[in-house]
């Protein structure tokens, strides 16, 4: 079977996290070269790089803080030098601080917005600026959350960052539509991994409550998120842009 993304390259932030790793593997399985970036040191990337090489795709890792615009530009340059023009970008890096509006410090609040919102802006703008220069088509996927539309009072900074990401995605989608660059957001509910796991480690009883609260009565796996992210980057898609792919098992219907 022909691989959907052969000879294309994707840039993924937060690529060493649970969802980031699954996304990297899902792109590789469709033949894409993979430029990984994360704040973690290079040695942490070795197992994933080996997995991607075993699948048979070119790959590259850069240690980068997405909240630093200049560092993001350098990451993109290094990725292009190694893998060629990047035509797909997945803005996935994020952090979460469990602290209500009157507990969170000013530093924690602005750090969360700098990483989750500014960081997504930096990488999406860097990649799409290059695509505009080259008059090339491409895809942007922002990894958002259903927390963008439901009040989560224990993680207000995270929720505000994801609400901002939603409007960033729509603004960018409108601006880039005439250039054939499709911009979309995926908004998962409770994923049994990563940031939710961080929350559940502090309150283990919450995990089963989350499953029971979800109308489909199942938590999401990182692989299920990854499959939808890849689908949003289908090069044949010329119409789905500015959309929110809500994959929350019906949570936001409640």
Say whether residue 75 binds ligand NAD (CB under 6 A): no
Say whether residue 95 binds ligand NAD (CB under 6 A): yes
Q: Residue 6 Cβ, how far from ligand NAD at the closest point, in Å?
A: 26
Q: For residue 169, what are the contacts with CB-CB under 8 A and spacing of at least 6?
A: 140, 142, 144, 183, 184, 185, 242, 244
**Where are the strands (E) in the chain, listed by range?**
9-13, 33-38, 59-63, 88-91, 138-143, 181-188, 244-247
Q: Residue 57 Cβ, how far from ligand NAD at the closest point, in Å?
A: 20
Q: Residue 133 Cβ, how far from ligand NAD at the closest point, in Å?
A: 25
Q: Given candidates 65, 73, 80, 228, which one binds ligand NAD under the rule CB under 6 A?
A: 65
Q: Which residues pair with 143 in a beta bridge?
A: 186
Say whether residue 190 binds ligand NAD (CB under 6 A): yes
**Binding region for ligand NAD (CB under 6 A) out of 4-12, 33-41, 51-59, 81-89:** 33-41
C-alpha distances (whole Å) from 226 to each of 26, 111, 137 are 6, 26, 21
DSSP 42: G
Q: Residue 198 Cβ, how far from ligand NAD at the closest point, in Å?
A: 7
Say whether residue 194 binds ligand NAD (CB under 6 A): yes
Q: Of 78 and 137, which has the nearer Cβ to ligand NAD?
A: 78
Neighbours of 217 (CB within 10 A): 10
Q: Given candidates 8, 11, 12, 13, which one binds ligand NAD under the rule CB under 6 A?
A: 13
Find the helix or strand (DSSP H, E) in which 79 lies.
helix 69-83
Q: Of 9 and 67, which has the nearer Cβ to ligand NAD?
A: 67
Phi, psi at 243, each rounded to 5°:
-95, 160
Q: How big is the CA angle at 186 (ends 180 and 189), to the nearest 5 degrees?
A: 175
Pairing state of beta strands 33-38 and 88-91? Answer: unpaired
Q: Given candidates 5, 9, 14, 25, which one binds ligand NAD under the rule CB under 6 A?
A: 14
Say whether residue 185 binds ligand NAD (CB under 6 A): no
Q: Of 64 and 233, which has the nearer Cβ to ligand NAD?
A: 64
Say whether residue 62 binds ligand NAD (CB under 6 A): no
Handedness of CA 23, 25, 26, 31 (dihedral sign): positive
Q: Does the active-site annotation cover 158?
A: yes
Q: Please give the size of the binding site for ligand NAD, defined by CB under 6 A.
A: 29
Give the separation between CA 139 and CA 147, rounded to whole angstroms. Answer: 23
Give the separation between CA 247 and CA 239, rounded to whole angstroms. Answer: 20
Q: Residue 207 Cβ, how far from ligand NAD at the closest point, in Å?
A: 11
Catalytic residues, by residue number, are 158
Residues engaged in binding ligand NAD (CB under 6 A):
13-14, 16-20, 38-40, 64-67, 92-95, 115, 119, 143, 145, 188, 190-191, 193-196
């Amino acid at each position: 079977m022909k691989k959907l993304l052969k000879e294309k390259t994707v840039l993924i932030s937060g690529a060493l996290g649970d969802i980031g790793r699954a996304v990297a593997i899902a792109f590789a399985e469709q033949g894409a070269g993979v430029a990984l970036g994360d704040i973690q040191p290079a040695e942490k990337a070795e197992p994933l790089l080996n997995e991607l090489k075993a699948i048979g795709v070119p790959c590259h890792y850069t240690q980068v803080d997405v909240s630093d615009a200049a560092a993001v530009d350098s990451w993109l340059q290094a990725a292009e030098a190694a893998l060629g023009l990047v035509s797909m970008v997945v803005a996935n890096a994020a952090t979460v601080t469990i602290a209500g509006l009157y507990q969170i410090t000013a530093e924690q609040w602005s750090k969360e917005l700098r990483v989750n919102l500014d960081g997504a802006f930096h990488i999406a703008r860097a990649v799409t600026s290059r695509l505009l220069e080259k008059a090339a088509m491409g895809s942007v996927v922002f990894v958002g959350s259903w927390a963008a539309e439901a009040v989560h009072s224990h993680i207000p900074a995270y929720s505000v960052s994801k609400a901002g990401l939603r409007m960033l995605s729509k603004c960018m989608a409108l601006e880039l539509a005439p250039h054939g660059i499709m911009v979309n957001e995926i908004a998962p509910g409770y994923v049994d991994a990563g940031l939710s796991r961080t929350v559940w480690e502090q309150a283990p009883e919450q995990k089963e409550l989350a499953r029971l609260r979800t109308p489909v009565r199942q938590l999401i796996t990182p692989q299920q998120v990854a499959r939808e992210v890849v689908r949003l980057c289908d090069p044949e898609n010329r119409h789905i842009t500015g959309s929110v792919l809500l994959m929350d098992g019906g949570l936001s219907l409640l």
